[in-house]
Structure 1
Amino acid sequence: PPAAAQLGILRRAHGVASVEAQLQCPLTLQQMKEPVICADGHSYEREAIEAWLLVNNVSPLTHQPLSHSRLVPNHALRSIIVAQRDCGSSCQEAGADSSWRIDPSKLTISGVVLGRGAWGVVREGTLLEDGLPRIVAIKQFPEADQVADLTRELELLAFATVRCSHVCRLIGVCRLDGLVCLVMNKYAESLHDLLARNGKLTLQQTLRLGIQLARAVGELHDISIVLNDLKPSNILMDKWGDLVLSDFGISTRIQNNLSRIMPSSIKGTTSYMSPEAFDPEMFGGVGPATDVWSLGCCLVEMASGVPPWDGLRHQEISRTVCDKRETPSLPDGLPAAAIALLSSCFKYEPAARPKASAVHQSLVAIDASQLQSLHSTAEASANASGDTRPLVLASVAFSEETKDVDNTVAARLEANAGASDGAAGARALDSPGVEKQDLDIALALSLSEQCHVVQTAATPEMEMQQLETALALSRAMAMQEDARRGRGE
């Protein structure tokens, strides 16, 4: 809906004073003009948070360490702020506002299909912004009776975008060639694409992506949104490997403090559906626990490379889950804690499953345990060889498409080479497998003189396992340093 209409919805739901307080920057306590989302999931005025990050690496609100320093423009919140400023108190009622509207003459839709669903087709397009082309994703609603579906999806997406940092970013809406078009940010690929290309992921990759995914689902549950169709093709990834959730076509928002809702029909993708999704009446409806089952299915697919119930038809899966009460098979080689966590996600009774936030906490604990184990192994090896230097990073590398962006960080590392006995430079290498966050960790540790960052060349003798071990050691030492600072040591 237009931003002014969305503002009216928010005011009626939460009260004028509450909504206007949410439009203020937590740092300046003034209404924001250019809101951006920080790594802690909260929105701030850009200038204020940039100044904060120059001297701090923790959240201004939670005081927890920030995983990165990237700032994402909060377009939906800015649109609501503009509507609030322009409309004032008269925005209590839904009204027309141009801030969500896109000039159709600036939008071109290509023939590239990014995805299809029961509620629309998503195509690639180009949007001219200030004379410069921007590649976008466009969800089309070709039939008049689908406008209601678009309105519902827009309401949920706008509501989530204001409050969550891990949802697909809304740009605006327009009508082009008789089609209603929802224009969104285009991401590098989906988790489905990644799995189709690489097969199953390593345990380290599964844990890292699983942590992001559980946090994203938990954010939506905190604002009472149930996805109803969580699956790898609806999990998008940017060029850094960060996840966002997309496709709110069959999502719902639970109202009036209810824990479940009764859908009008069976909805979802069979391989990821819970017992209550197949038979809502038996369980009294669907709710956040429905997404937790789907979250477990996504984790299983990441670790195994194949979706749950692969090869079975819809009716066979329904009978297996509902009548036989069977759960998806768990991949071999998982730690005992991971097996226990997945088993809890697949409890038959929805109330027995953990919350998404608890899944997130468990995955973080499992990841920390794995990193500590690798750290101990690397430390023992270093002691045996007589070289006890904390070698934190064996190589820093970028993929071709992100090199230009990341070279600025690499330059900062090289500029600090020789700055102290405890820091040395690192050079960007053209090899896959290393992410920007590993470079950020190396930079942070280098500047804090906590370790040596060594420069190496990409040689055939360097095994990817060695590289992953070095990177894991880097993250483990960073976690230890964060814990030490938290204790005030």
Structure 2
Amino acid sequence: MATPEESLFCPITFELFTDPVLAQDGHTYERQAIEEWIRQHGTSPITRQSLSLEYLYPNILVRQLIDSFEQSTRNKNYQFTLGIDVKKRESQPFIQTFGKSIYRAQWLPTNRGRPEIILLKIEGTRARKEASFYVDLSRHPYIVRTFGLVYDTENNRNDNSVMLLQEYAPEGNLFHKLQDCSTVIYEEVFIEIFLQIIDAMAYLTHNNVIHGDLACRNVLVFRFDASNPRNNHVKLTDFGISRNTQLYSMEPVAAQTRINIVPIRYAAPEILSSDVTYHAYTEKSDIYSMGVLMWEAYKRGEIPWSYISDDEEVIRHVRSGQHLLQPPNCIFDNAYHFRGRSNLNIMFI
């Protein structure tokens, strides 16, 4: 049987349980997810043994753990203190880029009955919203879960940054996953991943949030299968960390940070204009970047416009209307319809 720590998230949906049930294989699942799985496959998604809908039982222990965890975060108003509620596992981040550091973290006093977590520190910014807003915004199956904001009382006076407490992605990001995968990836797998990202984008747009930095590095992988589309699950992260954001405000004294750097090789032409304003960042510019992300995925993490070393030359190419060439493994010419969801138009010129 899975341990309490492993049982907080459904192994199918990768979401915190709402109605956990115990199956014949000894593992706990979200009821709706495992019922659908059994109807389609008839076997366990973990052990492959036969499963029956008749033998699904409520997991009261896991339900109590979830209730306790959710209640504790609400009691904290989704605001945690570093060194009291959570701590960094190491003093140095395991990922660090422009204005962003990610630390492995753990709950205090114990991780027992709690999900695995990381601390995302964004330099040169302040949170614009209440902590509960960030939590509620992340309640989507394809958006990385945020549990709240973390405050460092020792450095709070001089530290112009915001720290988010987020779930840990066991498979890393899509960029590294695609580069490390040595087998052929079926195109249907790419399509499934793209549709999950688009679901997340549509949700953000509905909530008036522009991502601003769509790229494979900002897609976290929770389950990956190069041959089975349905056995893949990704989540979008780093949304709203851009110039035009309703989530964070840039500190005027901040040095160059992630929030004021334009991702040139992924940006839409209007973003690359010399007189660009914050208003240029829209859902349309995100759609353009989504196309570049798809190209990057098909090319297994190749840098867009990799044959051009000068970013200024890339800007001239994009602003003049030139496009990335269609990858040879992208066999669909115009559009495709997959798993009954909305049509997704792809065009590489």
Q: Same fold (TM over 0.5)?
A: yes
Distance 1:114-1:212 versus aligned 2 partners, 3 A rule: farther
Distance 1:136-1:330 versus aligned 2 partners, 3 A rule: same
1:292 is displaced (CA, Å) by 1.2
Q: TM-score, normalised by structure 1?
A: 0.46
Q: 2:314 is matched with which residue: 317, 332, 335?
A: 317
Secondary structure in structure 2 of the residue aligned to 1:298? helix
Distance 1:153-1:319 versus aligned 2 partners, 3 A rule: farther
1:298 is displaced (CA, Å) by 1.2
Tell me how far apart the structure 1 counterparts of residues 284 and 325 of structure 2 sit (CA, whole Å): 19
Residue equivalent to 1:168: 144
- The aligned amino acid for 1:184 is Q
Contact 2:173 2:218 in 1 (8 A): yes
Tell me how far apart the structure 1 counterparts of residues 288 and 194 of structure 2 sit (CA, whole Å): 13
Contact 1:104 1:174 in 2 (8 A): no
Contact 2:116 2:168 in 1 (8 A): yes
Distance 1:41-1:311 versus aligned 2 partners, 3 A rule: same
Contact 1:330 1:339 in 2 (8 A): no
For residues 326-368 of structure 1, the C-alpha deviation after alignment (integer angstroms, 9 at most, x for no partner) is 0111111433xx33249xxxxxxxxxxxxxx9xx623599xxx
Q: 1:328 is matched with which residue: 318, 324, 331?
A: 324
For residues 252-309 of structure 1, the C-alpha deviation after alignment (integer angstroms, 9 at most, x for no partner) is 349xxxxxxxxxx975311111112212759962211111111111111111221321
1:53 is displaced (CA, Å) by 3.2
- The aligned amino acid for 1:328 is L
Q: Number of matched residues?
A: 276
Secondary structure in structure 2 of the residue aligned to 1:157? helix
Residue equivalent to 2:19: 46
1:470-489 mapped onto 2 (5 Å cutoff):
none
1:165 is displaced (CA, Å) by 2.1
Residue equivalent to 2:100: 120
Tell me how far apart the structure 2 counterparts of residues 315 and 210 of structure 1 sit (CA, whole Å): 29
Contact 2:18 2:30 in 1 (8 A): no
1:395-434 mapped onto 2 (5 Å cutoff):
none
Tell me how far apart the structure 1 counterparts of residues 317 and 299 of structure 2 sit (CA, whole Å): 20
Distance 1:42-1:51 versus aligned 2 partners, 3 A rule: closer
Residue equivalent to 1:308: 304
1:223 is displaced (CA, Å) by 2.0
Secondary structure in structure 2 of the residue aligned to 1:230? coil
Contact 2:9 2:115 in 1 (8 A): no
Q: 1:101 is matched with which residue: 63, 77, 80?
A: 80
Residue equivalent to 1:228: 212
Tell me how far apart the structure 1 counterparts of residues 120 and 102 of structure 2 sit (CA, whole Å): 4
Contact 1:36 1:44 in 2 (8 A): yes
Contact 1:308 1:329 in 2 (8 A): no
> Is 1:182–2:155 an aligned residue pair?
no
> Is 1:157–2:134 an aligned residue pair?
yes
> Is 1:252–2:252 an aligned residue pair?
no
Distance 1:186-1:283 versus aligned 2 partners, 3 A rule: closer
1:49-448 mapped onto 2 (5 Å cutoff):
53=32, 57=36, 78=70, 82=74, 97-102=76-81, 104-105=83-84, 106-111=86-91, 113-128=93-108, 130=110, 132=112, 135-140=116-121, 146-148=124-126, 150-151=127-128, 157-162=134-139, 164-172=140-148, 173-175=150-152, 178=155, 181-188=163-170, 189-198=172-181, 201-239=185-223, 241-248=232-239, 249-250=241-242, 252-253=245-246, 267-279=261-273, 281=276, 285-305=280-300, 306-312=302-308, 313-322=310-319, 324-335=320-331, 338-341=332-335, 361-363=342-344
Contact 1:230 1:272 in 2 (8 A): yes
| RMSD over aligned Cα atoms | 4.7
Greater fraction of residues in strand: 2
Distance 1:227-1:154 versus aligned 2 partners, 3 A rule: farther
More moved, 208-217 vs 278-287: 278-287
- The aligned amino acid for 1:319 is R
Tell me how far apart the structure 1 counterparts of residues 185 and 164 of structure 2 sit (CA, whole Å): 32
More moved, 37-46 vs 217-226: 37-46
Secondary structure in structure 2 of the residue aligned to 1:361? coil
Tell me how far apart the structure 1 counterparts of residues 119 and 260 of structure 2 sit (CA, whole Å): 26
Tell me how far apart the structure 1 counterparts of residues 178 and 322 of structure 2 sit (CA, whole Å): 25
- The aligned amino acid for 1:314 is D
Structure 2 unaligned regions, length at least 5: 1-7, 22-28, 38-43, 47-61, 225-231, 248-258
Structure 1 unaligned regions, length at least 5: 1-34, 59-67, 84-96, 255-264, 343-356, 366-489
Distance 1:268-1:114 versus aligned 2 partners, 3 A rule: farther
1:39 is displaced (CA, Å) by 8.2
Contact 1:174 1:182 in 2 (8 A): no
Distance 1:40-1:201 versus aligned 2 partners, 3 A rule: closer
1:160 is displaced (CA, Å) by 1.5
Higher relative contact order (CA 8 A, sep 6+): 2
